[in-house]
């Protein structure tokens, strides 16, 4: 029987580790084990994948052992005696690259390999030194790509295939990546990098863009207060008002939405500035999105991006977000197609709360009898991966990867 004290010490250790400062870079290690094929097998490329996952970030990597100049070319060794053997070996390499649509700024990669004589991996034939993989630049996806150096480094591994030497090969991969990617990815490398809305000026009363707030020719009446506006700005910025104002002779309009949700939208119509409140709850998020839907802005995508970015900021600023908060964020992200927030929330569910998540949703999206499922996800029409599938994918991709904190 397990000692209860051990569990207590383990929980205390986890809590203490959570309080430790996170370093600038995080190391991830992955060991890729595969068998050497028969000598008469025509192998051009062997591949696998793994994940580097930590807190609110997840990055998937593809690994390829390329044995020819091109995975689609028949040039190289084996069956082509007119080709020179040294040419085939110089073209062989191990490549590690980010999966499609994964954007990460900076990082390095180290690779080593061992060829074993037997299936049980007890007798080594050759063990290579660890080398710094060479980074390739100019990728269309803005991701990272590394490959082993050209020359004789990979020769012993190639010989295992060419001469059928050895039975097992282990490739050791170490990724050194910026911790910022896993904590605040949305600030630099996401859809917000070049599409951030301007905040409010420090002195609004002296800014001409906000003259409408005192000299407007139109009044929007909310249940808990009034807002001044200019009809021309409303007409130019809102599809709702574009249809409504030409046939209306009134200088005021009554809405059911509360003023705290309406004000940021009306101010954006006039100034192109937008800010979420310094503090807000999920009920406010629901109300401001409802108001955006009602007024149907010409630049609806920009406003929704403003809400989206604020939610990412709110989640990133939480030192230790609780399970219910992360789950609610995943629900909002899925409902409104907030991809960056979905990445963060689902990564946290996979990396920090996987056991609890699976205990509450053991059947995923099929668990209709679960009241939390009905409240959070049942009315949604998923596009792409569901949160349940995404959490599972992140968890499984990093299952064989070790995280090393300096």
Residues 76 and 88: beta-carbon distance below 8 Å: yes
pLDDT attached to residue 371: 67
Residues 309 and 325: beta-carbon distance below 8 Å: no
Q: In terms of C-beta distances under 8 Å and separation of at least 24 residues, what long-range contacts does 318-325 make, across chains too? A: 320/18, 321/348, 323/353, 323/356, 323/357
Nearest 5°: phi and psi at 201? -65, 160
Topology of domain 23-183, CATH: 2.60.210
Query: How, if at all, do strands 134-136 and 168-178 pair?
Result: unpaired
Residues 96 and 58: beta-carbon distance below 8 Å: no
* Torsion sign, CA atoms 97, 99, 101, 102: negative
Residues 181 and 137: beta-carbon distance below 8 Å: no
Query: Hey, is 244 helix, strand or coil?
Result: helix
Q: Which residues of the chain have pLDDT under 50?
A: 1-11, 13-14, 69-90, 140
> pLDDT for 111-124, tens place per residue?
999 999 888 899 99
Nearest 5°: phi and psi at 98? -65, 150
Q: What is the distance between the alpha carbons of residues 104 and 43, in angstroms, rounded to a whole number? A: 31
pLDDT attached to residue 37: 77
pLDDT attached to residue 379: 56
Q: What is the distance between the alpha carbons of residues 292 and 329, in angstroms, rounded to a whole number? A: 19
Query: How, if at all, do strands 131-132 and 134-136 pair?
Result: unpaired
Total-model pTM: 0.82
211: left (phi over 0), alpha (psi -120 to 50) or beta: alpha
Domain 204-315 has CATH 3.30.710.10: yes
pLDDT attached to residue 88: 44
Q: Which residues of 250-274 are buried (b: 16+ CB within 10 A; e: fewer)?
A: eeebebebbbbbbbbbbbbbbbebb
C-alpha distance from residue 180 to each of 25, 171, 280, 308 (Å) = 8, 27, 25, 19
- 2: burial class by Cβ within 10 Å (0-12, 13-18, 19+)? exposed
pLDDT attached to residue 36: 84
80: β partners: none
pLDDT attached to residue 80: 44
- CB-based contacts of 23, cutoff 8 Å, min separation 6: 179, 405, 406
């Amino acid at each position: 029987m397990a000692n209860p004290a051990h569990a207590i010490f383990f929980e205390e250790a986890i809590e203490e580790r959570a309080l430790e400062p996170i370093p600038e870079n995080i190391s991830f290690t992955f060991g890729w084990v595969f068998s050497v094929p028969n000598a008469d097998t025509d192998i051009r490329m062997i591949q696998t994948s793994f994940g580097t996952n930590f807190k609110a970030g997840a990055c998937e990597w593809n690994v390829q052992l390329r044995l020819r100049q091109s995975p689609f070319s028949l040039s190289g060794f084996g069956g082509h005696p007119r080709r020179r053997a040294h040419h085939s070996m110089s073209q062989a390499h191990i490549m590690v690259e980010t999966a499609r649509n994964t954007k990460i700024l900076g990082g390095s990669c180290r690779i080593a390999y061992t060829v074993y004589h037997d299936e049980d991996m007890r007798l080594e034939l050759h063990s290579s030194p660890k080398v710094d993989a060479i980074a390739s630049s100019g990728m269309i996806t803005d991701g990272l790509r590394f490959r082993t150096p050209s020359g004789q480094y990979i020769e012993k591994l190639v010989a295992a295939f060419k001469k059928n030497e050895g039975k097992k090969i282990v490739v050791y991969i170490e990724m050194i990546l910026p911790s910022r990617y896993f904590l605040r990815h949305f600030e630099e490398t996401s859809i917000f990098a070049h599409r951030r809305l301007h905040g409010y000026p420090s002195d609004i009363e002296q800014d001409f863009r906000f003259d409408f707030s005192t000299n407007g020719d139109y009044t929007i009446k909310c249940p808990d207060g009034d807002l001044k506006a200019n009809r021309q700005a409303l007409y130019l910025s809102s599809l709702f008002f574009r249809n409504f104002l030409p046939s209306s002779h009134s200088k005021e309009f009554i809405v059911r939405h509360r003023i705290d949700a309406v004000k940021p939208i009306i101010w954006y119509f006039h100034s192109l500035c937008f800010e979420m409140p310094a503090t807000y709850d999920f009920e406010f998020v629901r109300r401001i999105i409802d108001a955006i839907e009602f007024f149907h802005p010409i630049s609806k995508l920009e406003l929704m991006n403003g809400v989206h970015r604020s939610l990412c900021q709110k989640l990133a600023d939480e030192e230790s977000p609780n399970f219910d908060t992360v789950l609610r964020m995943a629900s909002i992200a899925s409902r409104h197609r907030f991809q960056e927030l979905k990445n963060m929330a689902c990564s946290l569910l996979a990396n920090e709360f996987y056991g609890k998540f699976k205990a509450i949703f053991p059947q995923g999206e099929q668990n209709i009898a679960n009241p939390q499922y009905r409240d959070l996800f049942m009315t949604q029409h998923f596009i792409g991966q569901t949160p349940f599938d995404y959490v599972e994918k992140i968890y499984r991709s990093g299952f064989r990867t070790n995280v090393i904190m300096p």
